Structure 1
Amino acid sequence: MSKKLEANGLWESSRMMLPQHKERINEHRTQNHYQSKPIIHEDEWEIIAQNLELSLNYTLPASFEVFDESGNWYVYGIVTSISTFGKKVKIEMDDGFEFVDFDQLVDVKLESGGEYGEADF
């Protein structure tokens, strides 16, 4: 019996590729892949707000995951102010300040528990 009829022989023996296929493969490789913003549950928003408040009140360092279409980025620092009107969070870092939209936050994690273990819940 012919090798073409065994296992995956039919596909292995035909290595032809149409120009349309090559064009589509090249488009796919050069295309930027954007991600959509994750849907955050109401309970997660409460945890984020609680961690923001703890970082603000007790000057606890925290890591902030910020959404971006091309990939999330991280900010490490201490919350110095929260603007409810503008929905912005001001984060003090080692080399300056960063303003982050509250709606773009994905996660906020406290780095340490402080002197009295405030963040150990």
Structure 2
Amino acid sequence: MSKKLQANGLWESSRMMLPQHKERIIEHRSRDNIRTKPSLHEDEIEIMSLNLRMSLSYTIEADIEVFNEFGNRTVKGIVASVSNSGKRIKLETDTGYEFFNFDDLVSVRLNEGGDTFETDT
């Protein structure tokens, strides 16, 4: 007798995957890599604000680490402006200008000569 007719063989031999199933599996696997933003201490937020103001006032290059769900991104540049509410930062990079929300920042490090002032999480 063939294996299809024994036990659960009829169902096991007729498996198929619909495109919707495949999309759902891919979506589920991509969610495994999603991270949450770390909560920052008030002192770290104050140091980041100070470093941003120093970069703006003294045109010091800063390394800004921006949160992303799949991996943080570090951008080098000089702070060109900060919005009145302090929630939006304009950074001048080698390729042009980039805008960031202050809430998305993880750390800000200043590069002044050989010394590096930094905030770590």
TM-score, scaled to structure 1: 0.68
Report what 2:29 is aligned to: 31
- The amino acid across from 1:56 in the alignment is L
SS state at 2:55 partner: helix
* Distance in 1, Cα, partners of 2:49 & 2:101: 13
CA displacement 1:10-32 (0-9 Å, x = unmatched): xxxxxxxxx9xxxxxxx59x712
Report what 2:77 is aligned to: 77
* Distance in 2, Cα, partners of 1:52 & 1:84: 14
Report what 2:48 is aligned to: 48
Q: Which runs of 4+ in 1 moved over 6 A?
A: none
**Identity value in percent:** 48
Alignment of 1:56-95 (within 5 A): 56-85=56-85, 87-95=87-95
Q: Shift in Å at residue 113 of structure 1?
A: 5.0
TM-score, scaled to structure 2: 0.68
- The amino acid across from 1:112 in the alignment is E
* Distance in 2, Cα, partners of 1:98 & 1:49: 18
SS state at 2:112 partner: coil
CA contact (8 A) 1:81 1:89 kept: yes
The change in CA–CA distance for 1:68 and 1:42 in structure 2 (over 3 A counts) is same
Q: Which runs of 5+ in 2 are unaligned?
A: 1-11, 13-24
Q: 2:109 aligned with 1:109, yes or no?
A: yes
CA displacement 1:89-118 (0-9 Å, x = unmatched): 00000110000000000000001159xx8x
CA displacement 1:6-61 (0-9 Å, x = unmatched): xxxxxxxxxxxxx9xxxxxxx59x71210000000000001000000000000000
Matched length: 95
* Distance in 2, Cα, partners of 1:79 & 1:86: 12
CA displacement 1:59-97 (0-9 Å, x = unmatched): 000000000111100110000100133711000001100
